[in-house]
Amino acid sequence: MVDLYAALGVDPESSIEEIKSAYRRLAFDNHPDRHVGASPEEIDRLTAKMTEAVQAYEVLSDQSLRAAYDDRRLGRGYRGPEVDRPRDPGPGECMICGWGPARQIQLHQGVGMILRRQKSVMGGMLCKFCAKSMFRMVQNSTMIKGWWGVIAFFANIGYILHNLTVLSDIRSLPAPVPPPAPLNTPLPFPMPPGRPLLARAGVWISILAITAACSLAFGRHHITPGGASQPAISVGMCVDGTAKSIGDPVDCSSTHFAKIVGIVSKQSDCPIDSDGASKETRNGPQPGKFVCLKLMS
């Protein structure tokens, strides 16, 4: 059985704050993306160590799971000679609880850091219940931490979609059943699934992040004949500009080039008191329209 305390580098008497601190330190120091240029063998070792740390933290940060693990680790209730101690889980048996059937599960976790990003692969041989618990933890973390950076933003979409595909595989697993005899696993029973994703912060942070990105990418703007980008315009606004193009809207009480007195389909439809018109380009909010102008006297 894996020593979860040793996996995090803490003592069995450590407080929850010490366990959290140790996990954050391990996640930072041993993340594979921090070791650019490392050999494939070293990357595999770091990935395995990260997976082990995640599993340890998932158990030790939960009071009831930690108590069950301590009972198993200390052999409380065990009777019999050393040779009768439980065996390790085999093929098709969950590495966390020993229940089955189980299958190999790989989840992707992303962390965006503005100019760079990190990616972890979490999972292992898991039963349906333990896999669902890990999915919710990893997906929620990715949906909170994975958006922050241009490259990280688009990579995070891929991680989330990959995890959703894995979720369909998890759902296809039959409900697990306990082994005939206890196995040498961290827990004697599957991990609880925890709160659904909609009850966690990740979904809502993702909605805000995607909405903000869409607003930046597809916000309304138009291009003047001179090529400058400016906000959408409407009748009654005052604008800067020249005889060749109009510029940004400005306060009408300040110095300005002209006031917009109409936006029409044909220049001949401009109000009689207008002094000229500027045609919106095909990239503008009202392509092909004429912006009728009353020049500042």
Tens of pLDDT, residues 159-182: 999 999 999 999 999 999 989 888
Q: Which residue has the higher pLDDT, 51 or 155?
A: 155
Predicted confidence at residue 70, as pLDDT, reads 84
pLDDT above 50 for 25:
yes
Tens of pLDDT, residues 64-73: 888 888 887 7
The per-residue pLDDT of the chain, averaged, comes to 82
pLDDT (mean) for 29-38: 68
Of 15, 20, 42, nearest to 31 (Cα)? 42
Residue 291 CA to chain centroid, in angstroms? 43
Arch. (CATH architecture) of 4-214: Orthogonal Bundle (1.10)
Predicted confidence at residue 221, as pLDDT, reads 47
Return d(Cα 87, Cα 1) in angstroms, integer. Answer: 9
Q: Which residue has the higher pLDDT, 48 or 203?
A: 203
pLDDT above 80 for 226:
no
The DSSP result for 173-235, as a single string, is SPPPB--SS--SSS-SSPPP--S-GGGSHHHHHHHHHHHHHHHHHH---EE-TT--EE----T
Tens of pLDDT, residues 98-115: 999 999 999 999 888 887
193-196 long-range contacts (CB < 8 A, ≥24 apart) are 193/129, 193/132, 193/133, 193/136, 194/133, 194/136, 194/137, 195/136, 196/136
Tens of pLDDT, residues 254-282: 888 888 999 898 888 899 888 888 887 65
Predicted confidence at residue 159, as pLDDT, reads 95
pLDDT above 50 for 93:
yes
Q: Which residue has the higher pLDDT, 84 or 75?
A: 75
pTM of the entire predicted model: 0.58
Rg (CA), the chain: 30
- Residue 222 confidence class, pLDDT cut points 50, 70, 90: very low
- Residue 36 confidence class, pLDDT cut points 50, 70, 90: low
Of 163, 96, 91, nearest to 127 (Cα)? 96
pLDDT (mean) for 211-227: 63
**DSSP single-letter state for residue 114:** B
- Residue 223 confidence class, pLDDT cut points 50, 70, 90: very low
* H or E element that contains 133: helix 128-145
pLDDT above 70 for 229:
no
pLDDT (mean) for 228-248: 74
Residue ranges per domain, the chain? Answer: 4-214, 223-295
